[in-house]
Structure 1
């Protein structure tokens, strides 16, 4: 996974797209007056907007397959104008990717916005997003990994509940498709739990959960990719984590860097505010070179166990096939002994 950096300034290149300008900083929601902003439930025949606000789309097939997925759900498709653009490892210049976000939220025909992939670059857009436009036109936003930056900023600035889940290039299993239908068509409060099939084995070996601290907790579900969250520390785009249920996932990182990012969350005061914790998958994470490494288990024990809050790891969250679709900003209850997360409210308008 590419690492994200914040730019203090962005060079503006003369193009046919208007130059970037900072969003009005007086538009934001504080914890005291924050209200949740809900998008409408989806229906077959609705139009879905496809955008690439982060990493470049390498092949046309990625777009074709994304279209096929959502056409099979019964949606009409509208592509962002710049999804085939490229600027380094980004899916176009900042101005182009920003223009696609704004155009999809402004388009009254578009009912939901799906990110084709994550990658890198979404954090660069945060100072320039028109949050008033988003607040006036709440829509489903679906994505994960680098899209964590947008999900966090939208909730902080507008209260919009967005969805951490499969992008267009993800593996869309029947399980993921069913979860999509239950969430977006039926608007059903769900329980998120790992599969428990043992197969031909005497005990369950795959997709096990590990209880870090027993108990139950209720709070606002906030989180996403560990790199993105740690990179947003100290910025105006992270919501208040007081009494939150924090969930995290990561991919392709050595454990030394994972430890450093957990340390940053600790030093920023985030870990000391939360009521519960869920870690998903650290896909393709391994030890650093040199004199050895901590294990992921040791990192979680060092930073999470001392908090004394209900916590578990191994949830189906992250760079995996059958990942949960999580409504970020919703009220949930976790059971750290069972390894379950229960949605306590509807997160779309019927």
Structure 2
């Protein structure tokens, strides 16, 4: 089912680190690309940071997000940021509005905190995907798959290849995202209930030592005792630097006693070719493929 039609408006927002002013051209290009698809854009007034990472306080960024989210003509919201600051907006969001008026919200990386908080508080599906991929190195394919999925009702942007590292099947509602950012929710009211869930993990930066300590913290929260399975995306720095032990080894070792199924996909993460993962959606992964 298509989520956007020609003439609809998509909001571009910034809930994490502010963009550099030099990135305005890329956002303008993104708006032009969406315009060519027949999608209007509304851009947050709190987007760019002149000399620091801050593009307004967390409250101001949250207010800008909610203002656009609540506009009747806005049919989907795409966060174009990443970094460290997204958790500043969480106390200032109106979660009741998400319950009453659910709309697709997209983001990646540090937006892991917002996507999981909205899902945990409002039960609303959220989308782990960076819309700036439409202007990236794999832009031609990304634009085609985005258009076919968002406007044509295809599921091609949601399709991804995977292989099992342990087990042969797993099923559950998907949660997770960037491992470092997800852990910022630990101990907060927005920490997901992982009972019976599938846990997705990926990362852009971080070597084997960092991943080991993140996984240790996840284990100590009890999350790894509750999940029905773990899906690994890309771990960019580890893969580029050939870090050892590899992320697959770390995850298999820390979950060895539990025997939890573990699968991996090279198609979801920080890459410019990344597909979209739907948090809050039930996934069934087995040797025959994937169903939603």
Q: Which residue number corresponds to residue 144 of structure 1?
A: 108
Q: Extract structure 1 runs of 4+ deviating beyond 3 A.
A: 186-191, 292-295
Q: What is the aligned counterpart of 1:179 among 132, 138, 145?
A: 145
2:52 aligned with 1:88: yes
Is residue 256–residue 287 contact of structure 1 (8 Å, CA) maintained in 2? no
Contact kept in structure 2, 1:221 and 1:247, CA below 8 Å: yes
Structure 1 alignment gaps of length 5 or more:
1-38, 195-208, 344-350
**Deviation of residue 286 (structure 1)?**
7.1
In the TM superposition, what is the alpha-carbon distance from 1:309 to its structure 2 partner? 2.7
1:227 maps to which of 177, 180, 183:
180
CA distance in 1, matches of 2:196, 2:145: 27
Task: Name the CA distance, whole Å, in 2 between partners of 1:40 and 1:125.
Answer: 29
Deviation track 1:272-303 (CA, whole Å, cap 9, x = no partner) reads 11111110100013799xxx964323312212
Instruction: Report the equivalent of 1:347.
Output: none
Report the 3-state secondary structure (helix = DSSP H, G, I; strand = E; otherwise coil) of the residue aligned with 2:42: strand
TM-score by length of 2: 0.89
Distance 2:240 2:147 in 1: 39
Q: Specify which structure has the higher proportion of helix.
A: 2
1:21 maps to which residue?
Answer: none
Q: Is the 8 A contact 2:62 2:90 kept in 1?
A: no
Aligned to 1:266: 219
Aligned length: 286
The alpha-carbon deviation at position 213 of structure 1 amounts to: 0.5
Aligned to 1:297: 248
Change in Cα spacing, 1:222 to 1:248, as seen in structure 2 (3 Å) is: same
Q: Tell me if structure 2 keeps the 8 A contact 1:40–1:139.
A: no
Q: Specify which of 68, 76, 87 is matched with residue 40 of structure 2.
A: 76
Paired position in structure 1 for 2:270 = 319
Provide the C-alpha distance between the structure 1 equivalents of 2:168 and 2:237, rounded to a whole number of angstroms: 29
Gaps in structure 2 of 5+ consecutive residues: none
Q: 2:119 and 2:261 mapped to 1: Cα distance?
A: 24
**Aligned partner of residue 225 in structure 2, secondary structure:** coil
Alignment of 1:1-350 (within 5 A): 41-58=3-20, 59=22, 60-86=24-50, 88-168=52-132, 171=136, 173-188=139-154, 192-194=159-161, 211-285=164-238, 294-335=245-286, 337=287, 340-343=289-292
The alignment's TM-score, normalised by the length of structure 1, stands at 0.75
CA contact (8 A) 2:63 2:92 kept: no
Q: SS at the partner of 2:224? A: coil
Q: Whole-Å Cα distance in 2 between the matches of residues 304 and 271 of structure 1?
A: 7
If you compute each CA radius of gyration, which structure gives the higher value, 1 or 2? Answer: 1
| In structure 2, distance between residues paired with 1:187 and 1:41 | 8
Cα distance, 1:184 vs. partner? 2.3
Q: CA RMSD in A?
A: 2.5
For residues 214-244 of structure 1, give each alpha carbon's deviation from its aligned partner in whole angstroms, at most 9, with x where no partner exists.
Answer: 2112110111100011221121112211111
The match for 1:7 is none
> 1:40: how far off?
8.0
